[in-house]
A and B are shown apart, each in its own frame.
Chain A
Amino acid sequence: MLPLFIRSIKFLIGGAFVFVLGLALFGTVKTAITEPEPETAEHAMHKHPKDLKLASDGVFGKFDNAQLQRGFQVYKEVCAVCHSLNLVSFRELGQLGYSEAEVKKIAKDWATKQPVFDDKAGTWGERDNLPSDRFPKVYYAGTGTPPDLSLMAKARHNGGAYIYSLMTGYDEKPSAEALKKFPEFAKPAEGMAFNPYFANLNLSMPAPLTGEGQVTYADGTRATVDQMSKDVAAFLVWTAEPHAQSRKAAGFAVILFLLFATALAFGAYRTVWKGVKH
């Protein structure tokens, strides 16, 4: 028989953990009652993304190339001034239905050029983009740091809907009356725009899509703010995972095969065990 101390060491250790947790619990409850955390403006005003239905959603979702081309046009004419798309190559645009020559031309005409270092002169120069190049980095001098958009649709929860909501969600700053409850929030930096879909409600980017006809769609679609927002969201869902469509198609075949194989395996299992009680 082990000495009593050794035998009861488990109770001592268990008791110690439970006791310290009890102390911690007491402290947490006391703080929660005596100094309840004030409600934050983010908690009161932040909104979850609106619903967005895209052709690429769901098990059989397919990219809508016409929409992706429109979205690309919005990116090119509006977003690209500040935001790069540095993880995407021009050649990948071929997937949207552009011909090889069109891709070449898009790359060549792209406003931001590729930086090149001249070994002889020791200076930096520029050259036109090629289809094999990635979309060039964009250097932005204003306030804020415009993030790269390549993976934006994956880098935010429910990213496609988030982008659409952010584009259409700009709103008047809440009145001083409404902000009285949130003194720390009432004095945001000047020049910030209010958007309830943005995590901390204030962002440096003013509403980028401001009025109908800001871009003129080649396919004649009416370019309302809502339409442009949907299109650019769809485009960024594509840039975030251009292979999503083949992923889903492959998955369908794989799962169909697995269902069949598993049914056979089940049959084999039942046959082998036939007559064996278990």
Chain B
Amino acid sequence: MSFPWAKHYEPKQPLMKWLDEKLPLPRFVYNAVGAGYPVPRNLNYFWNFGVLAGVALVCQIVTGIVLAMHFHSSAAGAFESVNVGIMRDVNAGWFLRFAHANGASMFLTVIYIHMFRGLYYGSYKAPREMVWLLGVVIFLLTMATAFMGYVLPWGQMSFWGAQVITGFFTAVPVVGEWVQVWLLGGYAPDDATLNRFFSLHYLLPFVILGAVILHIWALHIPGSGNPTGVEVKGEQDTVPFHPYYTAKDGFGVGVFMIVFSILIFYAPDYLGHADNYIAANPLSTPAHIVPEWYFWPFYAILRAFTADFIIAAKLWGVVAMFGSILILFFLPWLDKSPVRSASYRPMYRIAFWVLVVDVLILGYCGGSAATPGIVITSQLASAYYFAHFLIIVPIISRLEQPKPLPNSITEAVLAKKGGSQVTETALSA
């Protein structure tokens, strides 16, 4: 769908006319991310992060394809092919490797900001539920891909990470042990594990790419949301995606690349774990097995469940960890408030910021050794996490008295810029 005032693609050159008749791909791009897509004029910089996630995905695919050309997918050869072949002998191999490893962190960072943007501005609400659902699917696929990628260099954390994560399934009664053996292709991570993880790690990014296309398609049905949460009322509320948002995204991509480059060139190991520079050794368990930073909040939730109640503590932990993400699928129906943007929701806004701090605390706990203090903090923070989505938000959406909404995007924009009352009424009429 598009707004009636959307510009239409009109090829002028004979070649483009010919192409448009045979395969209207330029028309498709024009309507998707070109001048043919009207977008609210009031988007702030948080709306850059969707495009940035796409850029990060492309960076990962490009560096990953080249790295795969030099990688030996075997328990005997993987560590050396990364740490000798790629890091020392392949021309600029160190760049590819650091760009790929830090690219994963950039990708997840951007996704997290994009998701919190969605939570703050109510982007998950009707009519954009499907956009949100597909986004959660992309998030899950990205986490699976990142985990399997971390196993490939076959260092100590790779090996023991694979052991611990597949070990989650042993919490399942009766068939658990069998499921872990089936997933690993053996009783411990080995060639079979490494090869299937490599195969899936190469496959999943293209599945993500497919899901991203669906995500954007679903977005184009209602059109982009905006910081006021008020839907587009007329042409004066929108600008064409190109050149307005292509220009703004160009600037965003520049900033993204600067941060990315600082990581690659000046702090390439900062986000990694030193133990992964030790070759995998099935006979030596690292003192602290920790996942990559982007899994820390979920790892903290897993470790917070230390009491058996009807089912074993371990199973509670695994159910809660997966549950903490699955809850997001239900969010559009848990939050019944018709007002989207937290800017007009005084109570929800407080709950949102508490959640942000809560997830940061969970992240800190997940990355630390499980001392009693850390476990207690994780338990409190996990309780807030579940209470936020399942209890607090549903109750707030009933009790809350939202602030008055602007009549239109244009009215909000002009009010912010000191536009006169007369113009506002004139424009919103």
Contact = CB atoms under 8 A, between A and B. Distances in A.
Given A14-B389, A22-B383, A278-B413, A255 B305 contact: no
Contacts of B262: 251, 255
Contact of B380 (A25, A92, A248, A251): A25
Interface residues of chain A: helix, strand, loop or mixed (majority): helix
Interface stretch (B26-34, B81-89, B183-191, B209-217): B81-89
A55 interface: no
B323 interface: yes
Contact of B266 (A37, A251, A277): A251
Chain A contact-residue range equals: 35 or more
Contacts of A150: 83
Nearest to B98: A247
B255 to A, nearest CB: 6
Determine the main DSSP class of B at the interface with A: helix
A250 B95 CA distance: 10
A27 B316 CA distance: 15
Interface stretch (B63-71, B267-275, B337-345): B267-275
Contacts, number: 163
A151 B277 contact: yes
Contacts of B413: 277-278
Contacts of B80: 87
B391 A14 contact: yes
B12 interface: no
B79 to A, nearest CB: 9
B179 interface: no
B394 interface: yes
Contacts of B380: 21, 25
Interface stretch (B113-121, B132-140, B239-247): B239-247
Contacts of A139: none
Contacts of A266: 251, 254
A10 B394 contact: yes
B372 interface: yes
Contact of B305 (A13, A20, A59, A252): A20
B390 A17 contact: yes
Interface string A145-159: 001001100111101
Nearest to A19: B309
Contacts of B195: none
Nearest to A250: B265
A254 B307 contact: no
Interface of A: 10-11, 13-15, 17-29, 31-32, 37, 59, 87, 89, 92, 134, 147, 150-151, 154-157, 159, 199, 240-243, 247-248, 250-252, 254-255, 258-259, 261-262, 265-266, 268-269, 271-273, 276-278
Given A155-B278, A247-B94, A269-B250, 16 more contacts: A13-B390, A14-B386, A14-B391, A24-B313, A24-B379, A27-B307, A31-B372, A87-B80, A241-B94, A242-B88, A250-B95, A252-B265, A255-B261, A265-B251, A276-B244, A278-B413
14 contacts: A10-B390, A17-B386, A18-B383, A22-B383, A28-B306, A154-B274, A240-B277, A248-B265, A255-B258, A258-B257, A262-B254, A262-B257, A269-B251, A278-B239
